[in-house]
């Protein structure tokens, strides 16, 4: 870990008080523009690929006991009639143990899914399920960091998600009509001035992170970032481990609900350098999954991550 992490946080905070803007971290403007365009192209490719956020058709919360799946309207979780057997199987929950039992004679395969956990801008990774085995009775859950066990039945597939001690099936349809409606992502023009150099200021703070479902969770904030636009100082709280190499920040600004998505946007940035400097490239600000589907569980900006300036950079709201 860089030397800044080993310094006393309190001493650094006091050292940061009253400081002006940090010295900018320079970049080649042409190369910067190329990088932003490639990021945008990768974002579009991700969403156009199978298993993307566009494919979601349900987020079904699981009670204790059995939940039936199938196109039969009597099923607890009703799947599209032309794409699924009348009875595909049943999910059995016993506390934190969740299993799927396939209906005899119905083809269901099991694989490893990481599509929805990919870092934004990584590019499209269509799943290769050609060697996935047919299953009859298997556990649902994680298959390693950032990966889940996925069950597939024709174009329909599902994974298990956990939120606040509760469990749900996140169901996708790779023939979802949303794919036909998706023609790309509108974005603001690339502007070098929205690639800003910020100062990392460590602090000890717990923040309350709201989510789109109306819940909230407490998380530690190791620092805030301070940056200047047109001579005015602005600040955003960071969440995550202080030893991470990269961080994702949720923020709202003057364009939120007025050009960009009303629930805020996300942006990634690298850990600070030895001079406690961070580059926030708002040209890479992107929409949360909730823009594309009503079946995501997106975090929203915290109280202190609502900026009083309009950041006309990055992705705009999806018109559909």
Return the domain boundaries, the chain. Answer: 3-45+185-291, 51-173
Ranking 9-18, 62-71, 153-162 by mean pLDDT, the lowest is 9-18
Domain 51-173 has CATH 2.40.50.140: no
User: What is the pLDDT, as a whole number, of residue 114?
Assistant: 79
**Quick one: what percent of the chain has pLDDT higher than 90?**
81
Tell me: the pLDDT tens digits for 294-311? Answer: 999 899 999 999 999 999
Residue 161 sits at φ, ψ, to 5 deg, of -125, 150
Per-residue confidence band for 17, with pLDDT thresholds at 50, 70 and 90 = low
| 261, 19 Cβ separation under 8 angstroms | no
Q: What is the pTM of this model?
A: 0.88
Dist. CA 107–CA 85, nearest whole Å: 9
C-alpha gyration radius of the chain: 22
pLDDT at 8 over 60: no
Residue with tokens 């717990």: 206
pLDDT at 5 over 70: no
Tokens of 246: 């990269």
User: What is the pLDDT, as a whole number, of residue 16?
Assistant: 46
User: Nearest-CA neighbor of 284 among 304, 308, 311?
Assistant: 311
Dist. CA 107–CA 80, nearest whole Å: 16
Tell me: the pLDDT tens digits for 163-185? Answer: 888 999 999 999 999 999 999 99
Dist. CA 87–CA 135, nearest whole Å: 15
What contacts 24+ positions apart, CB below 8 Å, involve 204-210?
A: 204/9, 205/237, 207/237, 207/239, 207/302, 207/303, 207/304, 208/302, 208/303, 209/239, 209/250, 209/299, 209/300, 209/302, 210/299, 210/300, 210/302
Dist. CA 109–CA 244, nearest whole Å: 36
Nearest-5° Cα angle at 147, 133 to 105: 25
């Amino acid at each position: 870990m860089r030397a800044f992490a080993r310094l006393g946080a309190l001493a650094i905070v006091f050292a940061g008080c009253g400081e002006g803007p940090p010295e900018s971290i320079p970049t080649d403007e042409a190369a910067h523009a190329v990088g932003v365009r490639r990021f945008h192209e990768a974002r579009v490719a991700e969403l156009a690929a199978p298993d993307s956020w566009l494919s979601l058709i349900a987020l079904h919360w699981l009670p204790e006991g059995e939940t039936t799946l199938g196109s039969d309207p009597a099923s607890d979780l009703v799947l599209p009639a032309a794409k699924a057997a009348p009875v595909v199987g049943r999910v059995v929950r016993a506390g934190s143990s969740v299993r799927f039992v396939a209906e005899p004679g119905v083809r269901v395969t099991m694989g490893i899914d990481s599509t929805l956990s990919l870092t934004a801008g990584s590019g499209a990774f269509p799943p290769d399920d050609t060697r996935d085995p047919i299953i009859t009775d298997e556990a649902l859950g994680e298959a390693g960091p950032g990966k889940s066990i996925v069950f597939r039945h024709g174009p329909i597939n599902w994974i298990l998600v956990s939120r606040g001690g509760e469990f749900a099936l996140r169901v996708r349809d790779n023939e979802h009509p949303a794919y036909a409606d998706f023609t790309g992502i509108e974005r603001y023009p690339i502007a070098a001035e929205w690639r800003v150099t910020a100062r990392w200021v460590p602090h000890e703070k717990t923040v309350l992170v709201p989510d789109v479902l109306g819940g909230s969770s407490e998380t530690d904030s190791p620092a805030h970032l301070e940056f200047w636009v047109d001579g005015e100082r602005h600040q955003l709280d960071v969440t995550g481990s202080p030893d991470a190499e990269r961080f994702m920040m949720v923020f709202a600004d003057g364009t939120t609900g007025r050009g960009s998505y009303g629930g805020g946007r996300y942006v990634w940035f690298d850990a600070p350098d030895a001079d406690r400097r961070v580059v926030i490239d708002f040209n890479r600000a992107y929409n949360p999954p909730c823009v594309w589907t009503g079946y995501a569980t997106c975090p929203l900006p915290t109280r202190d991550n609502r900026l009083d300036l309009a950041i006309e950079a990055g992705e705009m709201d999806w018109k559909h």
